[in-house]
Structure 1
Amino acid sequence: MRKFYSRVVRNTKKIIVFFLALAVVGAILQNFVAVNYDMKDYLPEGSPSTVAIDTMNEEFEGGIPNARVMVKDVSISEALDYKERLKECDGVTDVMWLDDSINIYQPIEEADPDVVESFYKDQTALFTVTIDENKKIETVDAIREIIGENNAMTGDAVSTAVATTSTVNEIRIITILAVTIVLAVLMLTTTSWVEPLIILIGLGVAIMINSGSNLIFGEISFVTNAAGAVLQLAVSLDYSVFLMHRYEECLIETRDKNGAMVDALCKSTSSILSSGLTTVIGFLALIFMRFRIGPDLGVALAKGVGISLITVFVFMPALILKLYPLVQKTHHKRLLPGFQRLGRFVRRIMVPMACLFAVIAVPAFLASNSNSYP
């Protein structure tokens, strides 16, 4: 490993340019990664819901109704007008209402009240709508324009369309909050104003490369798309921090910057690699979930942690060596107090606390088996 790390520290410029280019390519490619917002596509193949959907698709030629639209304060004739307008929406393949079940040109009081109230009650009309799976977003928006904000709609197609439009904005907010919190924590726990930025640059490069490489899957779930980057940031953060601190320790022993980095990499490889591989195995365990969101998320995150490890061992040493003069220039006093007293206290009570947790673990395990999940 020492020979490999020696080559890394001798080719810092080439490595930095190469990884930054990969990050740019990844940022471009992530725009071409298809995102699936339909949760039913990830149901287990043998689940009752999947079997029911497949059976309905086989038995009926038309599409399965996937939305319901409610319009308040309308008469029968106004409801029929709404039905025709809904039918004209691009993406709507079918609309069912009361006139498909009874003759509405006869007195409605003579019809079966149960049938009538399924579609029309208290001057409120309820339409059953079938929306094209490939045009959910634009069709739901068009229906919303017709019925207005005071009326309502629900169903799988509506939920998928709302999730599609809202997730993008939520990802931005979550990412901004996560980066802000991480930056604040790093500012408090490090002794240089530039060090947190170096760590975030390394993480950002790994995340962009991983996001772009998701193109190899062809399609990912919206859960993976929303949580992947934030989870990769959370689980990979300590790798770069550990390497940076190990480098500073080795730099005290030898003033040779390149030699200190090689020593830091050799000393930290086993710790970082064992931690990273443990995380990778944990994510890969999600492959065995029958609910296929698990495999989708697990493989993407395992790949992300693997890319983060490569970035830490190759890109971060080159970046640290190039920017370390700025780290030294922006050095400041430690903002948090030392925790030596807390450490000594924990050491004194570790045996009693271990016994206490061992006792608590038994009823906690029994109670966990009694949990109910809706």
Structure 2
Amino acid sequence: MKVFSQLITKRSKIVLTIFLLLFIGALLLIPKVGINDNKADYLSEQSETKKGIVILETEFSSVKLNRNAKVLVKNKQIDEILVIKNQIAQINGIGKVIWLDDIVDLTQTPIEYIPVEIARNYLNGIDALLDITFIEDVDSDLSKEAINSINDLLEDDGAGVGFTSRSVMEVGNTATIIAIILMIIIIILFTESFFSSILMLITLGVAIVLNLGTNIVFGEISDISYIAAAVIQLAVSIDYSLIFMKNLKAAREKFDTIEEAINVATKTSFRTILAGATTTIAGFLALGVMSYQIGAELGFVLAKGVLFSLISVNILLPALMKISIKWVDKTKHRPWLPSINWLSKIINGKVSIIMLFLLITLTVIGYYGQSQNEFTYSDNQVEYTEIENEIVEKFGENNQFVLIVPKGQKENEMELIGTITQLENVKSVSNLNLFVNTFIGPNTPDDFIPESVKQQFISENYSLIMITMDLEKESKTTFEAIENIREGANQFFDESYLVGESSVIYDVKNNVERDYLAVIIISIVAVGLIILFTFKSITIPILLLLVIQTAIWINMAIPHYQGVTLSFLGYILISSIQLGATIDYAIIITENYEEERKLHNPKKAAKIAFKNSSQSIIISMMALVVAGLSLALIMEMDLIKELGLLISRGTIISGVLSLLILPQLLILFDKVIQRTTLKREAK
């Protein structure tokens, strides 16, 4: 490491040139990385919904699941509704508009004679509900323009489209920018030099750009990875640069030249930074075993980001310091971070026993609480708009499914439709026969059925049954309905596939529940082994993991004691993210304790370790808390909001336990640590 650090200081301009070229290359690649918000793409290839989607894409190219919306028309008579319907049909981007007049001849049949089960889906007093189909997906620019045009047409009546295109990317970018700005302020205020703060941010900024640009290897990444990666990478990596800066300051007091000081600081920092980075990477990589690939992808993206941060802090930052040391010295200021060194007074043998019992109590409370949580499984729920709420209130939910069955078994198909119709909350069921009978005419010969209609319901090998249910996208009742439909289909067909937004959520539920135990075990074992090899101790990994895992359980238990639900995907992600991101705090304290233990008794070593570690940990904590709160307060997507809150809260809990309880445990178990650690020097 000494030779390597000397090479950096001697060839600092070459190092900077290489990083500049890499930075420019990565920056150019970022726009080429696709963003995918279709969660079905991340399902296991073995899931029924994923198989069904593949069939729809290959055999029913004209059937698009993401092109429909509802339009609420208020306080209008029948003739006015028909005029509005025609106006909407003329809007650019609208493919089809369906209302009651497409099902019943309103010129021949009075409204009061239309069967209630038909009329209630389209008319409620003088309010109407239109079905619209866009030419492109609802999130396309063309569809967004069409939605805006419809809303402009109906805004005077307080009506409009029961769908709001929410730009997750735009909001995500805003959250990222705000988080980064706040973290910049924290670093500048609480470090000792304005210019050194800038160098730290340049270093981590380069690492983030390298990470975002190299996402090109995935082709595209999920919106969750896109939104969370940069913020979390910056937040979890700040302490690496703080460790280097702290060691550089100490080295400059001992050596005359900046080159010598940087060489020593790089060498002394490397072990701590490497231990922190590798444990963080291990925690993130544990997500790679998830069959629901969003978790695996996020884990790989974050792990890659931490690797780039590790490289940048150990190579780029020393090179930057070498050429900028004059500006660093000229812009020194007193850190505006209040000292908490007074808390070291409570670090002593008597309090250690109390803290051990407190930790055990918190562990039991946390473990029990987190095991009792109730979960949701969707990762993109957002609040309904006012119009959406009004539609649900007046017309019920419109949860749509497509059931794919083998072609050519009409009798079985009709029997299955009869079975499905008997289920609770079913609003409508349709296949080719029912559609033709309703819209074209009973007993219409196949030759007279338009090819465009056939393509909506049958292919070379399969037939489609369209189902609409008055159920939320996610609920216990919805999941039971999915199971009932699938069981009914299995009675009549050897092969069937149910596809819809709710079936995606249902399959996600089954995937992530299987993933959880594997992720937790792998992350704990991997992190534990890294700590074991870093400290060459059996006891230290147990103590560190006990502290951080207790913090995770407490964090996860709070929703149970609050009586609120928790996203299961967030539950898995935060278990690895909090472990990976905050184990660094425990490592920093333990590293400092080991160094001081060579010179002092356990009590004094723990006090000094607390004082030497607290500033870096608090600054890192504040950065991670700010990052999480930015996501929690700004994002509309439930999973991201929840993940942000869990990161913020978990960081605080991990930091507090690491600072207040871990030093006490190191004192209490010092003799055990000495006996179970190789090559340890102690007074």
TM-score normalised by structure 2 residue count: 0.50
Q: CA offset at residue 37 of structure 1?
A: 2.2
Alignment-derived partner of residue 292 in structure 1: 293
Judge conservation of contact 2:16–2:320 (CA < 8 Å) in 1.
Answer: yes
Alignment-derived partner of residue 353 in structure 1: 355
The one-letter amino acid of 1:221's match is S
Q: Deviations over 1:150-179 (max 9, x none)?
A: 323346xx5xx4235xx32x2343233222
Judge conservation of contact 2:26–2:214 (CA < 8 Å) in 1.
Answer: yes
Q: Deviations over 1:301-334 (max 9, x none)?
A: 1111111111111111101111121111122234
Judge conservation of contact 1:29–1:212 (CA < 8 Å) in 2.
Answer: yes
- Pairs within 5 Å for 1:84-95: 84-95=86-97
Deviates more, 1:240-249 or 1:184-193: 184-193
Judge conservation of contact 1:69–1:129 (CA < 8 Å) in 2.
Answer: yes
Alignment-derived partner of residue 13 in structure 1: 13
The one-letter amino acid of 1:153's match is V
The one-letter amino acid of 1:267's match is T
Alignment-derived partner of residue 365 in structure 2: 363
Alignment-derived partner of residue 37 in structure 1: 37
CA 1:28–1:340: 2 relative to 1, 3 Å: same
Look up the SS of the partner of 1:253 in the other structure.
coil
Q: How many residues align?
A: 367
Alignment-derived partner of residue 272 in structure 2: 271
Deviates more, 1:144-153 or 1:12-21: 144-153
CA 1:94–1:46: 2 relative to 1, 3 Å: farther
The one-letter amino acid of 1:355's match is F
Q: Deviations over 1:127-186 (max 9, x none)?
A: 22333338633213213212324323346xx5xx4235xx32x23432332223222322
Judge conservation of contact 1:35–1:222 (CA < 8 Å) in 2.
Answer: yes
Q: CA offset at residue 232 of structure 1?
A: 0.8
- Please state if 1:116 is matched with 2:124: no
CA 1:289–1:74: 2 relative to 1, 3 Å: farther
Identical pairs, percent: 31
- Pairs within 5 Å for 1:63-212: 63-64=64-65, 66-105=68-107, 106-131=109-134, 132-133=136-137, 136-148=140-152, 149=155, 150-154=158-162, 158=164, 161-164=165-168, 167-168=169-170, 170-212=171-213
Q: CA offset at residue 46 of structure 1?
A: 4.7
Q: CA offset at residue 69 of structure 1?
A: 2.0
Alignment-derived partner of residue 22 in structure 1: 22
The one-letter amino acid of 1:109's match is E
TM-score normalised by structure 1 residue count: 0.89
Q: Equivalents in 1 of 2:280, 2:90: separation in Å? A: 52
Q: Equivalents in 1 of 2:335, 2:111: separation in Å? A: 80
Look up the SS of the partner of 1:94 in the other structure.
strand
Alignment-derived partner of residue 262 in structure 1: 263
Alignment-derived partner of residue 62 in structure 1: 63
The one-letter amino acid of 2:73's match is V
Judge conservation of contact 1:279–1:302 (CA < 8 Å) in 2.
Answer: yes
The one-letter amino acid of 2:167's match is A
CA 1:219–1:323: 2 relative to 1, 3 Å: same
CA 1:44–1:336: 2 relative to 1, 3 Å: same
Look up the SS of the partner of 1:118 in the other structure.
coil
Q: Which runs of 5+ in 2 are unaligned?
A: 377-683
- Please state if 1:214 is matched with 2:215: yes
Taking only aligned residues, the RMSD between alpha carbons, in angstroms, comes to 2.5
Judge conservation of contact 1:281–1:302 (CA < 8 Å) in 2.
Answer: yes
Judge conservation of contact 2:151–2:161 (CA < 8 Å) in 1.
Answer: no
Q: Equivalents in 2 of 1:359, 1:145: separation in Å? A: 59
CA 1:193–1:147: 2 relative to 1, 3 Å: closer
Deviates more, 1:83-92 or 1:217-226: 83-92
- Pairs within 5 Å for 1:326-337: 326-337=327-338
Q: CA offset at residue 52 of structure 1?
A: 6.2
Judge conservation of contact 2:26–2:209 (CA < 8 Å) in 1.
Answer: yes
Deviates more, 1:2-11 or 1:34-43: 34-43
The one-letter amino acid of 1:78's match is E
Q: Deviations over 1:281-318 (max 9, x none)?
A: 11112222333321221111111111111111111110
Q: Deviations over 1:197-231 (max 9, x none)?
A: 11111111111121111122111111111111111
Q: Deviations over 1:207-261 (max 9, x none)?
A: 1121111122111111111111111111111111111111111121111211221
Q: Equivalents in 1 of 2:93, 2:295: separation in Å? A: 31
Deviates more, 1:333-342 or 1:97-106: 333-342
Look up the SS of the partner of 2:373 in the other structure.
coil
Q: Equivalents in 1 of 2:344, 2:264: separation in Å? A: 28
CA 1:346–1:151: 2 relative to 1, 3 Å: farther
CA 1:292–1:312: 2 relative to 1, 3 Å: same
Look up the SS of the partner of 1:194 in the other structure.
helix
Q: CA offset at residue 337 of structure 1?
A: 4.2
CA 1:53–1:91: 2 relative to 1, 3 Å: farther
Which fold has the larger relative contact order, with Cα–Cα distance below 8 Å and residues 6 or more apart in sequence?
A: 1
Deviates more, 1:173-182 or 1:354-363: 173-182
Q: Which runs of 5+ in 1 are unaligned?
A: none
Judge conservation of contact 2:138–2:144 (CA < 8 Å) in 1.
Answer: no
Q: CA offset at residue 53 of structure 1?
A: 5.3
Q: Deviations over 1:92-127 (max 9, x none)?
A: 443332123222222121111221120122222212
Q: Equivalents in 2 of 1:127, 1:45: separation in Å? A: 36
CA 1:81–1:34: 2 relative to 1, 3 Å: farther
CA 1:140–1:193: 2 relative to 1, 3 Å: closer
